[in-house]
Protein backbone atom coordinates (compact mmCIF):
# COMPACT_ATOMS: atom_id res chain seq x y z
CA UNK A 1 0.00 0.00 0.00
CA UNK A 2 1.19 3.47 -0.86
CA UNK A 3 0.51 6.03 1.87
CA UNK A 4 -1.27 9.22 0.81
CA UNK A 5 -1.57 12.66 2.38
CA UNK A 6 -4.20 15.04 1.01
CA UNK A 7 -4.21 18.85 1.11
CA UNK A 8 -7.19 21.01 0.10
CA UNK A 9 -9.18 17.77 0.35
CA UNK A 10 -12.68 19.20 0.02
CA UNK A 11 -15.31 16.49 0.16
CA UNK A 12 -12.91 13.88 -1.24
CA UNK A 13 -13.50 13.57 -4.98
CA UNK A 14 -9.82 12.80 -5.57
CA UNK A 15 -9.77 10.27 -2.74
CA UNK A 16 -12.86 8.53 -4.10
CA UNK A 17 -11.00 8.00 -7.37
CA UNK A 18 -7.70 7.25 -5.68
CA UNK A 19 -9.05 4.38 -3.57
CA UNK A 20 -11.26 2.93 -6.32
CA UNK A 21 -13.54 0.01 -5.46
CA UNK A 22 -16.69 1.71 -6.78
CA UNK A 23 -19.07 1.52 -9.71
CA UNK A 24 -20.10 4.35 -12.01
CA UNK A 25 -22.19 4.07 -15.16
CA UNK A 26 -22.21 0.28 -14.71
CA UNK A 27 -18.41 0.19 -14.91
CA UNK A 28 -16.44 -1.16 -11.95
CA UNK A 29 -13.33 0.79 -10.99
CA UNK A 30 -11.00 -1.59 -9.19
CA UNK A 31 -9.53 -0.95 -5.77
CA UNK A 32 -6.13 0.74 -5.98
CA UNK A 33 -3.21 0.17 -3.57
CA UNK A 34 -3.47 3.36 -1.55
CA UNK A 35 -4.07 4.20 2.10
CA UNK A 36 -5.04 7.72 3.21
CA UNK A 37 -3.00 8.66 6.28
CA UNK A 38 -3.77 12.38 6.46
CA UNK A 39 -6.30 14.84 5.03
CA UNK A 40 -7.00 18.49 5.66
CA UNK A 41 -9.24 21.31 4.44
CA UNK A 42 -10.34 24.65 5.85
CA UNK A 43 -14.03 23.93 5.10
CA UNK A 44 -15.59 22.09 8.04
CA UNK A 45 -18.72 21.11 6.12
CA UNK A 46 -16.64 19.55 3.37
CA UNK A 47 -14.69 17.65 6.01
CA UNK A 48 -17.98 16.45 7.52
CA UNK A 49 -18.72 14.88 4.13
CA UNK A 50 -15.18 13.51 3.95
CA UNK A 51 -15.58 11.73 7.27
CA UNK A 52 -18.82 10.13 6.10
CA UNK A 53 -17.05 8.45 3.20
CA UNK A 54 -13.46 7.68 4.20
CA UNK A 55 -11.73 5.82 6.99
CA UNK A 56 -8.84 7.99 8.06
CA UNK A 57 -7.94 8.71 11.66
CA UNK A 58 -6.09 11.91 10.86
CA UNK A 59 -8.57 14.30 9.22
CA UNK A 60 -7.99 17.94 10.18
CA UNK A 61 -10.05 21.11 9.74
CA UNK A 62 -7.47 23.87 9.44
CA UNK A 63 -5.88 26.51 7.26
CA UNK A 64 -2.93 24.81 5.56
CA UNK A 65 -0.81 27.86 6.37
CA UNK A 66 -1.18 27.00 10.07
CA UNK A 67 -0.15 23.35 9.71
CA UNK A 68 3.49 22.57 10.43
CA UNK A 69 4.99 19.96 8.15
CA UNK A 70 5.95 17.84 11.17
CA UNK A 71 2.24 17.39 11.92
CA UNK A 72 1.80 15.52 8.64
CA UNK A 73 2.82 11.84 8.73
CA UNK A 74 5.32 10.47 6.25
CA UNK A 75 3.70 9.47 2.98
CA UNK A 76 4.48 8.20 -0.52
CA UNK A 77 2.02 10.41 -2.41
CA UNK A 78 0.86 13.96 -1.77
CA UNK A 79 -2.33 15.08 -3.54
CA UNK A 80 -4.10 18.42 -3.63
CA UNK A 81 -6.24 20.67 -5.76
CA UNK A 82 -5.06 24.02 -4.46
CA UNK A 83 -7.69 26.82 -4.70
CA UNK A 84 -8.31 27.90 -8.27
CA UNK A 85 -10.50 31.02 -8.17
CA UNK A 86 -7.56 33.31 -8.91
CA UNK A 87 -6.77 31.37 -12.10
CA UNK A 88 -10.32 31.07 -13.42
CA UNK A 89 -11.02 32.10 -17.01
CA UNK A 90 -14.59 32.98 -16.00
CA UNK A 91 -13.33 36.21 -14.44
CA UNK A 92 -10.01 37.13 -16.06
CA UNK A 93 -9.85 40.37 -14.04
CA UNK A 94 -9.11 38.55 -10.79
CA UNK A 95 -5.65 39.05 -9.32
CA UNK A 96 -3.51 35.98 -10.18
CA UNK A 97 -1.08 36.91 -7.42
CA UNK A 98 -3.50 37.16 -4.49
CA UNK A 99 -3.24 35.10 -1.29
CA UNK A 100 -5.27 32.20 -2.70
CA UNK A 101 -3.06 32.02 -5.77
CA UNK A 102 -0.05 31.61 -3.52
CA UNK A 103 -1.46 28.59 -1.68
CA UNK A 104 0.42 26.31 -4.06
CA UNK A 105 3.48 27.43 -2.07
CA UNK A 106 2.09 25.48 0.90
CA UNK A 107 2.08 22.34 -1.21
CA UNK A 108 5.66 23.09 -2.28
CA UNK A 109 6.58 23.54 1.39
CA UNK A 110 5.14 20.15 2.31
CA UNK A 111 6.78 18.22 -0.55
CA UNK A 112 10.10 19.88 0.19
CA UNK A 113 9.89 18.88 3.85
CA UNK A 114 8.38 15.39 3.50
CA UNK A 115 9.88 14.35 0.14
CA UNK A 116 7.14 11.93 -0.97
CA UNK A 117 7.84 9.84 -4.05
CA UNK A 118 5.11 11.58 -6.03
CA UNK A 119 2.81 14.57 -5.80
CA UNK A 120 -0.35 15.16 -7.85
CA UNK A 121 -1.79 18.68 -8.10
CA UNK A 122 -4.90 19.88 -9.94
CA UNK A 123 -6.18 23.24 -11.08
CA UNK A 124 -8.39 24.95 -13.65
CA UNK A 125 -7.53 25.43 -17.33
CA UNK A 126 -6.75 29.11 -16.79
CA UNK A 127 -3.85 28.12 -14.56
CA UNK A 128 -2.03 26.90 -17.68
CA UNK A 129 -2.75 29.88 -19.92
CA UNK A 130 -2.83 32.85 -17.54
CA UNK A 131 -0.14 35.49 -18.08
CA UNK A 132 0.97 33.61 -21.21
CA UNK A 133 2.01 30.58 -19.18
CA UNK A 134 4.27 32.43 -16.76
CA UNK A 135 2.17 31.43 -13.71
CA UNK A 136 2.39 27.68 -14.29
CA UNK A 137 6.07 27.95 -15.17
CA UNK A 138 6.73 29.68 -11.87
CA UNK A 139 4.94 26.88 -10.03
CA UNK A 140 6.83 24.19 -11.98
CA UNK A 141 10.13 25.90 -11.15
CA UNK A 142 9.37 25.96 -7.44
CA UNK A 143 8.46 22.27 -7.39
CA UNK A 144 11.65 21.56 -9.36
CA UNK A 145 13.69 23.44 -6.77
CA UNK A 146 12.00 21.29 -4.11
CA UNK A 147 13.44 18.20 -5.80
CA UNK A 148 10.86 17.08 -8.38
CA UNK A 149 10.60 16.49 -12.11
CA UNK A 150 7.17 17.80 -13.10
CA UNK A 151 4.93 16.59 -15.92
CA UNK A 152 1.94 18.73 -16.89
CA UNK A 153 -1.17 18.03 -18.95
CA UNK A 154 -4.54 19.59 -19.68
CA UNK A 155 -7.08 16.76 -19.45
CA UNK A 156 -10.80 16.72 -20.21
CA UNK A 157 -12.92 14.60 -17.88
CA UNK A 158 -15.21 13.76 -20.81
CA UNK A 159 -12.31 11.82 -22.35
CA UNK A 160 -12.16 9.49 -19.34
CA UNK A 161 -15.73 8.31 -18.82
CA UNK A 162 -17.19 11.36 -17.05
CA UNK A 163 -20.45 12.83 -18.47
CA UNK A 164 -19.04 16.35 -18.33
CA UNK A 165 -16.77 18.59 -20.40
CA UNK A 166 -14.39 19.54 -17.62
CA UNK A 167 -10.87 20.64 -18.55
CA UNK A 168 -8.38 20.63 -15.72
CA UNK A 169 -4.61 20.98 -15.48
CA UNK A 170 -2.76 18.21 -13.67
CA UNK A 171 0.81 18.40 -12.43
CA UNK A 172 2.47 15.12 -11.49
CA UNK A 173 5.85 15.43 -9.82
CA UNK A 174 8.33 12.58 -9.38
CA UNK A 175 11.14 12.90 -6.89
CA UNK A 176 14.33 13.40 -8.87
CA UNK A 177 15.99 10.24 -7.57
CA UNK A 178 13.25 8.15 -9.25
CA UNK A 179 14.68 7.15 -12.60
CA UNK A 180 11.60 7.21 -14.81
CA UNK A 181 9.30 9.66 -16.55
CA UNK A 182 5.61 9.84 -15.74
CA UNK A 183 3.15 9.27 -18.58
CA UNK A 184 -0.43 10.50 -18.27
CA UNK A 185 -3.15 7.88 -18.91
CA UNK A 186 -4.54 7.63 -22.43
CA UNK A 187 -8.13 8.82 -22.95
CA UNK A 188 -10.80 6.12 -22.84
CA UNK A 189 -13.97 7.73 -24.20
CA UNK A 190 -12.90 10.24 -26.87
CA UNK A 191 -14.82 8.52 -29.65
CA UNK A 192 -17.87 7.59 -27.56
CA UNK A 193 -18.27 10.14 -24.75
CA UNK A 194 -20.56 9.38 -21.83
CA UNK A 195 -23.82 11.37 -22.24
CA UNK A 196 -25.53 13.51 -19.61
CA UNK A 197 -28.47 11.07 -19.64
CA UNK A 198 -26.37 8.80 -17.40
CA UNK A 199 -26.80 11.39 -14.64
CA UNK A 200 -30.46 12.27 -15.34
CA UNK A 201 -32.60 9.12 -15.00
CA UNK A 202 -35.78 11.20 -14.74
CA UNK A 203 -35.95 14.60 -16.42
CA UNK A 204 -39.40 15.54 -15.13
CA UNK A 205 -40.21 14.03 -11.75
CA UNK A 206 -38.14 16.06 -9.33
CA UNK A 207 -39.16 18.39 -6.50
CA UNK A 208 -40.69 21.73 -7.45
CA UNK A 209 -37.90 23.66 -5.71
CA UNK A 210 -35.49 22.73 -8.51
CA UNK A 211 -37.58 24.44 -11.21
CA UNK A 212 -37.03 28.03 -12.34
CA UNK A 213 -39.95 30.42 -11.99
CA UNK A 214 -41.66 31.96 -14.99
CA UNK A 215 -40.28 35.29 -13.79
CA UNK A 216 -36.75 33.90 -14.16
CA UNK A 217 -37.58 32.63 -17.65
CA UNK A 218 -38.97 36.01 -18.64
CA UNK A 219 -35.89 37.73 -17.26
CA UNK A 220 -33.73 35.53 -19.46
CA UNK A 221 -35.83 36.38 -22.52
CA UNK A 222 -35.64 40.10 -21.78
CA UNK A 223 -31.85 40.15 -21.43
CA UNK A 224 -30.39 42.74 -23.78
CA UNK A 225 -26.75 41.69 -24.17
CA UNK A 226 -25.44 38.97 -26.45
CA UNK A 227 -24.28 36.54 -23.78
CA UNK A 228 -25.60 33.01 -24.22
CA UNK A 229 -28.36 32.36 -21.72
CA UNK A 230 -30.54 29.50 -20.66
CA UNK A 231 -27.81 27.00 -21.43
CA UNK A 232 -30.06 23.95 -21.67
CA UNK A 233 -28.01 20.79 -21.93
CA UNK A 234 -28.49 18.02 -24.48
CA UNK A 235 -28.97 14.67 -22.78
CA UNK A 236 -27.10 12.80 -25.52
CA UNK A 237 -23.86 14.77 -24.97
CA UNK A 238 -21.58 15.40 -21.96
CA UNK A 239 -22.66 18.33 -19.79
CA UNK A 240 -20.86 21.65 -19.66
CA UNK A 241 -18.65 22.16 -16.59
CA UNK A 242 -20.47 22.23 -13.25
CA UNK A 243 -19.05 24.57 -10.62
CA UNK A 244 -19.52 25.52 -6.99
CA UNK A 245 -22.04 28.08 -8.31
CA UNK A 246 -24.59 25.29 -8.81
CA UNK A 247 -26.74 26.37 -5.87
CA UNK A 248 -27.16 29.81 -7.44
CA UNK A 249 -27.57 28.57 -11.01
CA UNK A 250 -29.31 31.22 -13.07
CA UNK A 251 -30.92 31.39 -16.49
CA UNK A 252 -29.10 34.71 -16.94
CA UNK A 253 -25.65 33.14 -16.75
CA UNK A 254 -23.32 30.53 -18.18
CA UNK A 255 -24.66 27.87 -15.82
CA UNK A 256 -25.77 24.59 -17.45
CA UNK A 257 -29.47 23.88 -16.85
CA UNK A 258 -32.14 21.47 -18.08
CA UNK A 259 -35.03 22.34 -20.41
CA UNK A 260 -37.80 20.01 -19.27
CA UNK A 261 -40.56 21.16 -21.64
CA UNK A 262 -39.76 23.53 -24.55
CA UNK A 263 -43.44 24.24 -25.28
CA UNK A 264 -43.97 25.48 -21.73
CA UNK A 265 -40.50 27.06 -21.41
CA UNK A 266 -39.99 24.93 -18.32
CA UNK A 267 -36.40 24.92 -17.02
CA UNK A 268 -34.81 23.44 -13.91
CA UNK A 269 -31.43 23.16 -12.22
CA UNK A 270 -29.74 19.87 -11.39
CA UNK A 271 -30.52 18.15 -8.11
CA UNK A 272 -27.49 17.54 -5.86
CA UNK A 273 -27.49 13.83 -6.70
CA UNK A 274 -27.62 14.59 -10.42
CA UNK A 275 -24.74 17.03 -10.03
CA UNK A 276 -22.80 14.34 -8.14
CA UNK A 277 -23.38 11.90 -11.01
CA UNK A 278 -22.25 14.52 -13.52
CA UNK A 279 -19.00 14.64 -11.53
CA UNK A 280 -18.90 10.79 -11.58
CA UNK A 281 -19.44 10.24 -7.87
CA UNK A 282 -20.90 6.78 -7.22
CA UNK A 283 -24.41 6.47 -5.78
CA UNK A 284 -22.92 5.29 -2.48
CA UNK A 285 -21.12 8.61 -1.89
CA UNK A 286 -22.85 10.61 0.87
CA UNK A 287 -22.98 14.38 1.35
CA UNK A 288 -23.32 16.09 4.73
CA UNK A 289 -25.33 19.29 5.22
CA UNK A 290 -27.82 21.13 3.05
CA UNK A 291 -28.32 21.17 -0.71
CA UNK A 292 -26.27 24.39 -0.76
CA UNK A 293 -23.39 22.64 1.02
CA UNK A 294 -23.57 19.66 -1.33
CA UNK A 295 -23.61 21.82 -4.47
CA UNK A 296 -20.53 23.74 -3.34
CA UNK A 297 -18.64 20.57 -2.43
CA UNK A 298 -19.57 18.81 -5.68
CA UNK A 299 -18.66 21.77 -7.88
CA UNK A 300 -15.27 22.17 -6.19
CA UNK A 301 -14.41 18.47 -6.35
CA UNK A 302 -12.05 16.59 -8.64
CA UNK A 303 -14.05 14.14 -10.77
CA UNK A 304 -13.48 10.71 -9.16
CA UNK A 305 -13.48 8.61 -12.36
CA UNK A 306 -10.97 10.94 -13.99
CA UNK A 307 -8.71 10.83 -10.94
CA UNK A 308 -8.96 7.03 -10.79
CA UNK A 309 -7.22 6.82 -14.16
CA UNK A 310 -4.43 9.13 -12.97
CA UNK A 311 -4.07 7.31 -9.65
CA UNK A 312 -3.93 3.94 -11.40
CA UNK A 313 -1.24 5.14 -13.79
CA UNK A 314 0.82 6.35 -10.82
CA UNK A 315 0.42 3.12 -8.83
CA UNK A 316 1.26 1.02 -11.91
CA UNK A 317 4.40 3.10 -12.39
CA UNK A 318 5.49 2.77 -8.75
CA UNK A 319 4.82 -0.98 -8.66
CA UNK A 320 6.84 -1.40 -11.85
CA UNK A 321 9.75 0.50 -10.27
CA UNK A 322 9.55 -1.57 -7.07
CA UNK A 323 9.58 -4.81 -9.08
CA UNK A 324 12.46 -3.79 -11.31
Output b/e per residue, 23-44; b: 16+ Cβ within 10 A. ebbeeebeebebebbbbbbbbe
Going through 142-255 in order, the beta strands assigned E by DSSP cover 148-156, 167-175, 231-232
239 has catalytic annotation: no
Beta-carbon count within 10 A of 260 CB: 17
Contacts of 224 (CB under 8 A, 6+ apart): none
CA distance 236 to 254: 20
Put residue 7 in one of left, alpha, beta given phi > 0 → left and psi -120 to 50 → alpha: beta
**Pairing verdict, β 118-124 and 167-175:** antiparallel
Candidate list 11, 16, 56, 84, residue with the active-site label: 84
**Pairing verdict, β 266-268 and 77-80:** unpaired
Give the catalytic positions in this structure: 84
Amino acid sequence: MFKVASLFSGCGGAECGLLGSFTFNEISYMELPYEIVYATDIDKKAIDTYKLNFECENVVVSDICDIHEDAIPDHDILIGGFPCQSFSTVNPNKDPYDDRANLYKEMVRIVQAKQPKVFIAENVKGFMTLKKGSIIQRVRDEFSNAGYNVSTALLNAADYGVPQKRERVFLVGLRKDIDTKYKFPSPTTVDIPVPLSVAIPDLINVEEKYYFSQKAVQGMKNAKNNMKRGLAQKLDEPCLTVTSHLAKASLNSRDPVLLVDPSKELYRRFTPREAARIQSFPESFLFAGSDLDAYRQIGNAIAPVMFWHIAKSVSDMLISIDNA
